[in-house]
A = this chain, B = another copy of it.
Amino acid sequence: MIDAEKLRWMEKGFSFFDKLTEQEKNETAENAVEVCFQRGQSIHRAGEDCAGLMLVTSGQLRTYILSDDGREVTLYRLWKGDVCVLSASCVLSEVAFDVLIEAVEDTRVILLPLAYFRQLKEKNVYVELFTYRLATERFSDVMWSLQQILFMRADQRLAAFLWDEMARTGREELSYTHDQIARYMGSAREVVSRLLKYFSEEGIVKVSRGKILVTDRDKLKKFL
């Protein structure tokens, strides 16, 4: 990525950018680095160092928590244009919890490394404000997931997942294993397999290895 493009991404993604001094803008551009993560790669782990603030330019990141016995619950996912703040949580004393972050697909980000980000946040109150506003947005994302997990029936959750994925990708054929869907839904693989079998018998989807084709959108919509 050439510098002018990097700058354009940052001006758009980091809404504090126009509040920086000229010197701070230059320093930020110098310190920001492009980083590529491979599909499945771990980006942030509980108890380890944080990398810093990340602006996603392509791909997908997933933030999740893990129980002692290995159960995963997805909190939210980030796509192109989103900023990942919990990968810089070490500089936020208010964040007293640990999450894991992984790349779901091959993903590229513009990273403001932690040491520089910390310094910028201490110098400029608008950077600090941006960070906490972003954390509050993620709070909303987590509340949405929490309500889904606690209150929605599993068939509704599966229907909502398929619906959102169709809207996001613009396609009726979705590439996911049952295991992946279970993790996104915060459910068990067996539950997802049983429900997909039921949806399939109802003529709503066609299931093949690693793929789900939605064949009846109207019927699917009734589950939402």
Contact = CB atoms under 8 A, between A and B. Distances in A.
A64 to B, nearest CB: 11
Nearest to A128: B129
B136 A92 contact: yes
A95 to B, nearest CB: 6
A34 B92 CA distance: 32
Nearest to A19: B125
Interface in A45-82: 65, 67-68, 71, 73
Copies per assembly: 2
Interface residues of A, number: 31
B129 A68 contact: no
Nearest to A152: B67
Closest 10 CB pairs of A and B: A132-B132, A67-B151, A97-B143, A139-B139, A94-B136, A96-B140, A135-B136, A94-B137, A129-B129, A132-B133
Interface string A120-142: 00000110110011011111101
Interface string A99-132: 0000000000000000000000000011011001
Nearest to A137: B94
